[in-house]
Amino acid sequence: MKLYNNLINEIKNSLNDAKVLIKSNKTLNTSAKNSVIFLSDTAFELGGSQKPCVSSLAVTSDINFSNSVYLLGDDIDKIKSDSPFGKFVFIQIENFDDEQNTFNKIKELEALRYHLSVDGFMTRASALNMREQIRVSKKAVKSGVTFADYGQTLLNEYLKFDYVKSAEIYFVTDFDNFDRLNSVAKKISQTTSALNHIFDNVMFDCSTCNLKEICDEVDGLKELHLKTAKK
């Protein structure tokens, strides 16, 4: 799976100033049910108050990641009010011969953010507008939880999948380059939508498809559509 490679590299280049966080030995409790954090128990909300917010996940089979957590901007202990927020997850998976199987794995990985709850964090995610707002509890802040702790907990969950070979997570609370990040994240979302379109065997008239632009731009996407249509 190489469809996302250029987009992954574009985001990583935009986040050159992000600092790798010291690997955390603190594993936060997780559950399959999203926790509820009331406003009275909330220290701040990442992406709240209409602040810039974007979340994206992209996979590849041939880029090896460092199993590290990166941060551009302030850590949790420095944030005092609702803050801009970005979260980018890059995952290296096994190179499957069957494209449909690969796409099923992508959907499985994407679903994790909707079904995984980390203690002290309440996630409100929307794939439609690429936002992932996260309430951080006062209790978590008081106990000294950091993005390293939160990110390492998420990394551990992704690495539990037997087909995941490596991963990286980037957190962003400094959004000087938000417009560029949002633009690339939109292309990632459109690529995933195009894959869904292809494997659902939806119309094959490229001239009338609203995903034609992204198919023309992403190397290999149109070829995959042609290959699938012939089956």
| pLDDT for position 215 | 67
The larger pLDDT score, comparing residue 192 to residue 48, is at 48
How does pLDDT run across 106-160, given as a tens digit for each residue? 999 999 988 899 999 999 887 778 899 999 999 999 999 999 999 999 999 999 9
DSSP one-letter string for 47-94: T-TT--EEEEEEEESS----SEEEEES--GGG--S-B-EEEEEEEEE-
Establish how many alpha carbons lie within 13 A of residue 192's alpha carbon, considering only the half-sphere containing its beta carbon.
Answer: 21
pLDDT for 21 beyond 90: yes
How many of the other CB atoms lie within 10 Å of CB of 66? Answer: 11
pTM: 0.89
Structural domains in the chain, CATH included, are: 5-176 (3.30.1650.10)
Contact criterion met (CB below 8 Å) for 22 and 75: no
Confidence class for position 177, pLDDT limits 50, 70, 90: confident
Q: How far apart are CA 83 and CA 154, in angstroms?
A: 20
Residue type, 198: I
Q: How far apart are CA 10 and CA 22, in angstroms?
A: 24
| pLDDT for position 27 | 86
